[in-house]
Amino acid sequence: MGDERHEKIQKRAYQIWEREGGGDPEHHWHRAEAEIDREAAPTADDALPREIASTDVLEVEELAMRTGISGDEAQALLDRLGTDRAAVEQAARSLKARKAAKS
Task: Look up residue 84 and give its amino acid.
Answer: D
- Confidence label for 33 from pLDDT (cuts 50, 70 and 90): confident
Are the C-beta atoms of residues 101 and 71 closer than 8 Å to each other?
A: no
**In this predicted model, which residue has the larger pLDDT, 15 or 51?**
15
Phi, psi of 9 (to 5 degrees): -65, -45
- Tell me, what's the pLDDT at 50? 52
Please state, rounded to an integer, the average pLDDT across all residues of the chain: 78
Distances from the Cα of 93 to the Cα of 8, 26, 29, 35, 60, angstroms: 22, 30, 26, 17, 14
pTM of the model: 0.44
Task: Look up residue 36 and give its amino acid.
Answer: I
- Confidence label for 49 from pLDDT (cuts 50, 70 and 90): low
